[in-house]
Amino acid sequence: MTISKEESGKTSTPQDTGRRRFLASSAVAGLAGASLSLGLAACNKGGGEATTAATGNAGSGASGANATPAIDWDKYEVHPGKLDTYYGFSSGGHSGDLRVHGLPSGREIRRVPVFNVDCMSGWGITNESRKIIGTRPNGQLNYITGDTHHVHMSYTDGVYDGRYIFVNDKINARVARVRLDTMECDAITQLPNVQGFHGIFPDKRDPLDDKINSTTRVFCGAEFHTPQPNDGRDLNDPKKYFCLFTCLDAKTMQPRWQVKVDGNMDLVATSYDGKLACSNQYNTENGVHYEDMMSAERDACVFFNVARIEAAVKAGKFFHIGNSTVPVVDGTHEASADPKTALTCYVPVPKNPHGVNISPDGKYYACAGKLSPTATVISHELMLKWFDGEIKDPRDAVVAEPEIGLGPLHTGFNGKGFVYTTLFLDSQIVKWDLAAAMKSYQGDKDAKVVVDRVDVHYQPGHGFTSMGETREPDGQFFISDNKFSKDRYLPVGPLHPDSSQLIDISGEKMVIVGDHPLYPEPHDSIMVRRDIIKTRQIYDLNEFPLAVKAMKDCRVERQGRKVTVYLTSQAPVFGLREWTVKKGDEVTIILTNLDKVEDLTHGFAIPFYNINFVVHPQQTQSVTFIADKPGVYWCYCTNFCHALHLEMRSRMLVQA
Ligand code: K7E
Ligand code: CUA
Ligand code: CA
């Protein structure tokens, strides 16, 4: 089977062609073998010619795409000393963190540790961070692994409010909240009875504010179906496995309710009016092996009627699973047979879809085909009509299903009627016209759906537009987060960095204007106007109940074998020059940074004790450990703070 786009009339350099061929075929062979080819062949049965037609159309429509347009590089270059115009927030994937970039430069300006342990900051080492991550009775962290996929900001009336980022942990079914004023994680919650927690999206409507009685929700999909509860029962009886869709309260970070779902969930999207949330499903078959998961010709995009679910919970129509106290309502096909009372609606879409995204005007959901070369456009208004019983067949809510290319995964909108979708197998971004797609679906053969394509390097996963997931899309940039970079950067051993490519979408043609290597592996990101983010540089001493408010308060207190060391830092000294404990003591060090100068962070490390953390201006952090090794230990400052930084030391004397 040929999947290379060169056949479709688009030119590229000979060198380019060979490389792209290799990537395209290795992707098919490597990812799903013959079965994927079969899947694509099956799609082509229905629309292979149409694909060629659409591609051909794009080829002629985009004939100038390969004629290099004159690029005004100054527009995208951020000169030394100048600031970027956007923040980019990215998940770190299996590194378990969250990254912050300046855009368009692509400069990494912060890594926020979330589900990982980080010895720069002391995340996972300080008592404060360990409390957020959670510990076991033996004192060890609950988990030291995480896999962040999706990052989304809290909203007020459909626009980012700059307050929080929510991010998922796929491995251990956790949601983290990161406060954006300090860019630190302040809460982590594990979802009950969920495995493979993948898609996450907050409510876009309600502000998260005490004064107006916030109802902000965070919606969470579950990808892996399991026995419920997963306690050893029904181990090899997959017919009894199922998945739960979870709604979390954004303020308390506690689950409010869950929905029992047929099939699985992958990505999640929410409407702008707070009425619906939805998730694409690639395993409606409830298969346990990949070939089972792609056996049906169609899967689904499942919609959740938020108000009805909450009414059902209020009316007591729920059950519990295992020890969990979270109410679970029934959103299976069977329970949702009558649209007028249904909690869910399963809209059939071509097999094994991937991302689902909503247009900034709140009118359309685009569900990308993955194994089908299509995107399915579902009307929000018609979905609401289905729930009102005004239309019968959920497929009648579909208003377009254009053929756009091979391996469509994720979609961004420019707010002006154009849609940009990543094509994993084609290694392209395709730009298509939403109105034309709807006309074409109505039978208009002249409708020109695909208007441009651009090669990316290589195999794009997520793609998103600047401010494109808000009511204020600016149509300036699209970022293609590519899974492979191969020859784009200096080789660094077996694993190449991932690559994020910045594409200017403000004109008719897409133009790649930046290549940024990324430490593996960001999945999803958002691109946010910089005026939305307001950070603080200095903490307030009073925020910390344990604060040691003056150098004269430094002391050592003993209660039996428990020793507390009250310590301050103020460049270039710690508040105690030395202190003495006995072997076997449980030592807690409380360290307050009394410096008030922006950026004057001190570090604190104890050799051979696994202690390493920082305290920012006016912040207090603490650590607890057993002083099990007698000797002299130089506790030193790890963060270069002063001309006498190296001299900034104190001694811990551990008596035998
Ligand atoms: Cu990688 Cu959003 Cu987890 Cu698609 S997901 S690529
Ligand atoms: Cu304090 Cu270096
Ligand atoms: Ca499937």
649 pocket-lining for ligand 2 (C-beta < 6 Å): no
Residue closest by Cα to atom 1 of ligand 2? 602
pLDDT at 216: 87
In the predicted model, what is the mean pLDDT of residues 485-497?
95
Strand, coil or helix: what is 434? helix
Q: How confident is the model at residue 485 (pLDDT cuts 50, 70, 90)?
A: very high
CA-wise closest residue to 471 among 200, 272, 207: 272
SS3 call for 277:
strand
Q: Ligand nearest 421 Cα, by number?
A: 1
User: CB-hemisphere CA count at 13 Å for 585?
Assistant: 24
pLDDT tens-place string over residues 228-252: 999 999 999 999 999 999 999 999 9
The ligand 2 atom at the shortest distance from the C-alpha of residue 646 is 2
Ligand 1 atom with the smallest distance to the CA of 461 is 6
Rounded CA Rg of the chain: 27
Q: What would the mean pLDDT of 415-422 be, rounded to a whole number?
A: 98
Q: Ligand 2 centre from 572 Cα, in Å? A: 6
Q: Which of 255, 194, 189 is nearest to 230 (CA)?
A: 194
Contacts of residue 12, defined as CB under 8 A and 6 or more positions apart, other chains included, come to: 6, 20, 66, 455
* 639 within ligand 2 shell (Cβ under 6 A): yes
Compute the distance from residue 286 Cα to the ligand 3 centre, in Å. 8
Q: Tens digit of pLDDT for each residue in 117-157?
A: 999 999 999 999 999 999 999 999 999 999 999 999 999 88
Residue 562 identity:
K
Output phi, psi for 632, to 5 deg: -100, 130
* Average pLDDT score over residue span 341-356: 97
* Closest-lying ligand 2 atom to the alpha carbon of residue 571: 1
* Residue 52 predicted with pLDDT over 60: no
Distance 168 CA to ligand 1 centre (A): 12
pLDDT for the residue numbered 25: 46
* Distance from Cα 629 to the centre of ligand 2, integer Å: 25
Is the shortest distance between the CB of 21 and ligand 2 below 6 Å?
A: no
Name the residue of 280, 409, 411 to mutate for ligand 1: max ligand atoms within 8 A of Cβ: 409
Distances (CA, A) of 315 to 34, 255, 308, 319: 50, 18, 10, 12
Which residue minimizes the CA distance to atom 3 of ligand 1? Answer: 149
Query: Does residue 298 have a pLDDT over 70?
Result: yes
Distance, in Å, from the CA atom of 587 to the CA atom of 207, rounded to the nearest integer, reads 43
CB atoms within 10 A of CB 488: 15
Q: What is the pLDDT of residue 206?
A: 72
What would the two tokens of residue 158 be?
């459909």
Residue 448 has pLDDT above 90, yes or no: yes
Q: Which ligand is nearest to the CA of 498?
A: 1
Distance separating alpha carbons of residues 594 and 575, to the nearest angstrom:
10
Tell me if 641 CB under 6 Å of ligand 2.
Answer: yes
Tell me which ligand sits closest to the C-alpha of residue 410: 1
Distance 614 CA to ligand 2 centre (A): 9
Q: Whose CA is nearest to atom 6 of ligand 1?
A: 461
**Cα 209 to Cα 160, 188, 454, 534, 539, distances in angstroms:** 14, 20, 42, 17, 22
pLDDT value at position 60? 36
Indicate which atom in ligand 1 lies nearest the CA of residue 267: 2
Question: Which atom in ligand 2 lies closest to the alpha carbon of residue 640?
Answer: 2
The one-letter amino acid code at 622 reads S
What are residue 346's DSSP bridge partners? 302
All structural domains of the chain, each given as residue ranges with its CATH number in brackets, are 209-216+228-353 (no CATH), 541-655 (2.60.40.420)
- What is the rounded average pLDDT of the residues 186-202? 98
Distance of CA 198 from the midpoint of ligand 1 (Å): 8
Judge if pTM exceeds 0.85.
yes
pLDDT in tens, 618-639: 999 999 999 999 999 999 999 9
**Is the pLDDT confidence value at 254 over 50?**
yes
Q: Give the mean pLDDT of 79-86.
A: 96
Three-class HEC string of 198-236 = EEEEECCCCCCCHHHCCCCEEEEEEEECECCCCCCCCCC
Tell me if 645 CB under 6 Å of ligand 2. Answer: yes
CB-ligand 2 contact for 648 (6 Å cutoff): yes
Q: Is the pLDDT of residue 343 over 60?
A: yes
Max distance between CA atoms of the chain, in angstroms, equals 87
Q: Which atom of ligand 1 lies at the shortest distance from residue 354's CA? A: 4
Does residue 453 line the site of ligand 2, with CB under 6 A? Answer: no
Residue 433, pLDDT > 90, answer yes
3-state per-residue secondary structure call for 540-608: CHHHCCCCCCCHHHCEEEEECCEEEEEEEEECCEECCCEEEEECCCEEEEEEEECCCCCCCCEEEEECC
Question: Is residue 66 very low, low, confident or very high in pLDDT (cuts 50, 70, 90)?
Answer: low
Q: For residues 572 and 648, is the Cβ–Cβ distance under 8 A?
A: yes
Number of the ligand closest to the Cα of 640: 2
pLDDT for 360-398, tens place per residue?
999 999 999 999 999 999 999 999 999 999 999 999 999
Q: What is the per-residue pLDDT across 263-275, written as a single tens digit (0 to 9) for each?
A: 999 999 999 999 9
Percent of the chain with pLDDT over 90: 87
Which residues have CB under 6 Å of ligand 1?
149-150, 198, 267, 354-355, 409-410, 461-462, 523-524
- Quick one: tokens of 60? 């002629």
Residues linked to residue 219 through DSSP beta bridges, in sequence order: 201, 247
The three-state secondary structure class of 53 is helix
Q: In ligand 1, which atom is closest to the CA atom of 483?
A: 6
Q: Which ligand is nearest to the CA of 263?
A: 3
Query: Nearest ligand, CA of residue 460?
Result: 1
Check residue 33 and give its pLDDT. Answer: 38
Q: For residue 475, how far is its CA from the centre of ligand 1 (angstroms)?
A: 22
H/E element holding 22?
helix 14-61
Distance 560 CA to ligand 2 centre (A): 32
Residue 8 has pLDDT above 50, yes or no: no
Q: Is 312 in the pocket of ligand 2 (CB under 6 A)?
A: no
